């Protein structure tokens, strides 16, 4: 997706796209890292010094609501964000540098059936996230 696609989605949802919000979009489109809100805030402030942390959080919420970014859960508990995958993919994140990649593959039928059998639930969807060290960090 291009920046204009993101801007169109935001404006169609009734969200005003200011220069700082556009800067936040640019950060996501330029990065393969899982980013925490403070890092996004610090980065966008380099071009837009008047932006507030509340604007960053509100923009993150809206981008997530529109399916453009997704929240990444970390072992430490603080959320990070990155661009949403294209189609059904699973997430692999480097524990050290936070580089994130998506990997295809959905052969989890045996695991899904076991979960359904043990719990009595009917599994509708799943989200799989791996943590490890990328080739550069190991």
The pLDDT assigned to 128 comes to 80
pLDDT at position 6, please?
A: 94
12-34 burial string, b = 16+ CB within 10 Å, else e? eeebebeebbbbbbebbeebebb
Asked if 81 and 66 count as a contact pair (C-beta separation under 8 A), the reply is: no
Q: Tell me what pLDDT residue 44 has.
A: 97
Report the candidate in 15, 91, 30 with the shortest Cα–Cα distance to residue 60.
15
Paired residues of 91 in beta bridges: 102, 129
The Cα 120–Cα 111 span in angstroms is 14
Show the low-confidence residues of the chain (pLDDT under 70).
1, 77, 87, 106
pLDDT of residue 87: 66
- Identical fold for domains 3-83 and 89-132, yes or no, is no
Q: Where are the domains of the chain?
A: 3-83, 89-132
**pLDDT for the residue numbered 1:** 66
How is domain 3-83 classified at the CATH fold level?
A: Arc Repressor Mutant, subunit A (1.10.10)
- pLDDT for 135 equals 94
Written as six digits, the tokens of 91 are 């997430």
Nearest residue to 61 (alpha-carbon basis) of 10, 112, 100: 10
The CATH code that applies to domain 89-132 is 3.30.1490.190
């Amino acid at each position: 997706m291009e920046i204009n696609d993101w801007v169109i989605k935001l404006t169609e949802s009734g969200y005003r796209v200011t220069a700082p919000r556009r800067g936040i979009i640019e950060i996501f489109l330029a990065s393969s890292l899982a980013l925490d809100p403070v890092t996004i805030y610090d980065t966008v402030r380099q071009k837009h010094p008047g932006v507030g942390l509340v604007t960053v959080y509100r923009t993150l919420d809206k981008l997530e609501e529109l399916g453009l970014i997704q929240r990444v859960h970390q072992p430490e508990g603080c959320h990070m964000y990155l661009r949403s995958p294209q189609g059904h993919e699973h997430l692999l994140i480097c524990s050290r540098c936070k580089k994130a990649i998506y990997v295809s593959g959905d052969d989890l039928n045996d695991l899904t059936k076991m979960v359904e059998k043990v719990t009595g639930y009917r599994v509708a969807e799943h989200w799989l996230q791996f943590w490890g060290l990328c080739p550069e960090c190991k």
